[in-house]
Structure 1
């Protein structure tokens, strides 16, 4: 009978796996990226969260711990609720057209049509254009004596004060955001369409399905992961919108176009209320994390039937 003293230590113990040559090499190669991630991502997020419970200046001598007072101020602030309503309106009005229009364009460009490559490039150009430059262009187009009002005057339609009216200023920002996002989403949808097997369309055609039925029962289910991805990325793009507000309207008129990111910027760098701005930024971060969680969960559920 073998003595317990002679029993060998299992070679696959946790400690031995940690000291495995491949594991050590992997950690060595990952260390620079992890260090940069910690310095430039994790530490700023942790400091932002800490700052949201403080008040006064950035200096350690002037910083005071006030607990949840900044969050309570947000809940009681009419300006914050107006900004939140503006952001929700802006996000919904941007996301829906930014899904429908690129999807329709992708379906058309996925067919064998003339100048397909040129059209793809033309639709993608807005995605690589500077948002500040585009914002200046839209401000020039929609100013009181701009080209848009000149066109309306040619049709005997009264001029519209696009950027000075509390109703029309937001649609200008929404139009710019849709124009900016449409090319990227179209390319993503094109990539998703190419992953759908042609045999599914052939089977649907043999069953007598018309073009709309093929789109509804073949294309849309096949694009479910892509639609979730595009929805989340577009929502995050709209939630972090800042340049168009800063360049075109400055949050006006009468706070009607003030979005959450611009509100955070104004509170931090114009009012120097860093703790209050950090609390609003923390809420924005939580919303973005919830969107990412919903995306990952939806993608996992979409892949589950394929695994079964």
Structure 2
């Protein structure tokens, strides 16, 4: 038994070393950096303690970014879970061509977000194809409300295919006998969905909610390509805010403090949602 444990540890050691170097060490370094002040334009940094966090929580722009991030996350996660679920329920009844439809829906998920962002930027110009088809002139990317809607639109579009495939896999694990038993008991379509499909999909729903939330919170490319955080700072979300503070303002300690806050939020949401799996 002891020899088996030593062999297991020996085989896991390379993976643990790589994980430590590229995951745990950067997190420790990031945490330490958040207690310092320094820039990329001068050598070294000096210890400032909690000053960066005090600045962060006293900054109105930061709270605007937090509000933007919350709106963007909720506006993306809800439709990015509901729409694929509805589509999966429909495709699960399709006998012929299911693979083709699944492929077509999944294609947006494998497209680079930078390329997709450039395409959406062209489509959503004031004189772009979308406005021409609608016969109106909406400044999609230059007004706060429409710009946030454009970011949510591209994020939902990019995630629908992946979530659809996960839901289809989850639906196929539910035994048909449960639907047959519910039908014999007189359950209608809604009752079968609520009392058979939803409980059977509970682990899948948790997985999709977690992955969609994590992907949304780390979204950077759409903001960078489409809006640059504008107009009026209304589409600036936490990931882009960290990038801007670090590489445009050269305030590494402050950016690290914002990144630690983002990591804490993500970790808290992850732990909270994983409790539903047990």
Distance in 1, matches of 2:37 and 2:155, equals 34
1:54 Cα deviation after fit: 0.6
Q: Select which of 47, 50, 57 maps to 1:75.
A: 57
Aligned to 2:230: 252
Aligned to 1:7: none
> What is the TM-score of this pair, normalised by structure 2?
0.97
SS of residue in 2 equivalent to 1:95: helix
Aligned to 1:299: 277
Aligned to 1:88: 70
- The size of the alignment, in residue pairs, is 278
Structure 1 vs Structure 2 CA RMSD = 1.4
Distance in 2, matches of 1:234 and 1:280, equals 21
Aligned to 1:304: none
1:57 Cα deviation after fit: 3.0
**Structure 1 residue 208 corresponds to structure 2 residue 186:** yes
**Structure 1 residue 97 corresponds to structure 2 residue 79:** yes
Aligned to 1:127: 109
> What is the TM-score of this pair, normalised by structure 1?
0.88
Distance in 2, matches of 1:99 and 1:181, equals 9
CA contact (8 A) 2:206 2:274 kept: no
4+ runs of 1 displaced by more than 6 Å? Answer: none
Instruction: Indicate the structure whose relative CO is greater, using CA pairs within 8 Å and at least 6 residues apart.
Output: 2
Find the structure with the greater CA-based Rg. Answer: 1
1:117 Cα deviation after fit: 1.4
1:239 Cα deviation after fit: 0.5
1:222-270 CA distance string (max 9 Å, x none)? 1111111111111111110100000111111111111110000000001
CA contact (8 A) 2:56 2:258 kept: yes
**Structure 1 residue 136 corresponds to structure 2 residue 114:** no
**Structure 1 residue 110 corresponds to structure 2 residue 92:** yes
SS of residue in 2 equivalent to 1:168: helix
1:115 Cα deviation after fit: 2.1
1:133-176 CA distance string (max 9 Å, x none)? 000000000011100111122xxxx3011111111100001000
SS of residue in 1 equivalent to 2:236: coil
1:268-300 CA distance string (max 9 Å, x none)? 001110000000000111111112212321101
Aligned to 1:173: 151
Q: Select which of 210, 221, 231 maps to 2:199.
A: 221
SS of residue in 2 equivalent to 1:93: helix
SS of residue in 2 equivalent to 1:298: coil
Aligned to 2:170: 192
Structure 2: which 5+ residue stretches go unaligned?
none
Q: Is the alpha carbon distance of 1:59 and 1:162 closer, same or farther for their aligned partners in structure 2, counting shifts above 3 Å?
A: closer
**Structure 1 residue 27 corresponds to structure 2 residue 27:** no
